[in-house]
Amino acid sequence: MSSHASPDPVYRRVYDRVRHSIIDGRLKPGERVPSARALAAQLGVSRGTIDVAYAVLSGEGYLIAEGARGTFVSPALPHHAEIPPGPKAPAAAAAVPPLPKLPFWVGLPAIDLFPRKIWSRLLAREGRGLSAEDYRYPNRSGDLRLKTALVSYLSVSRGIACTPDQIVITGGYQGAIGLVCRLLLSPGDTVWVEDPGYHWTHATLDAIGARAVPVPVDRHGLDVAGGQARAPGAGLCIVTPSNQFPLGVTLSLPRRRELLDWAAAERRWIVEDDYDSEFYYQGRLLPALKALDHEDRVFYVGTFSKTLFPGLRLGYLVTPAAQADRFSRAHWALDGGRSSLEQITVADFITEGYFARHLSKMRSAYAARRAATVAALTHELGGLMTFDLSNGGLHVIGRLGDDVDDSRLAARAIAEGYRPIALSSLSHQPCAPKGLLMGFTNVPESQAAQLVGQFRKVLGL
pLDDT in tens, 368-423: 999 999 999 999 999 999 998 888 999 999 999 999 999 999 999 988 888 899 99
User: What's the rounded Cα separation, in Å, for the pair 375 and 421?
Assistant: 20
CATH class of 10-100: mainly alpha
Per domain, the residue ranges of the chain are 10-100, 132-354, 356-459
Q: What is the pLDDT of residues 241-289, one digit of tens each?
A: 999 999 999 999 999 999 999 999 999 999 999 988 889 888 777 889 9
CATH architecture of the domain 132-354 equals: 3-Layer(aba) Sandwich (3.40)
Whole-prediction pTM value? 0.78
The segments of the chain whose pLDDT lies below 50 read 2-6, 79, 83-99
CATH of the domain spanning 356-459: 3.90.1150.10
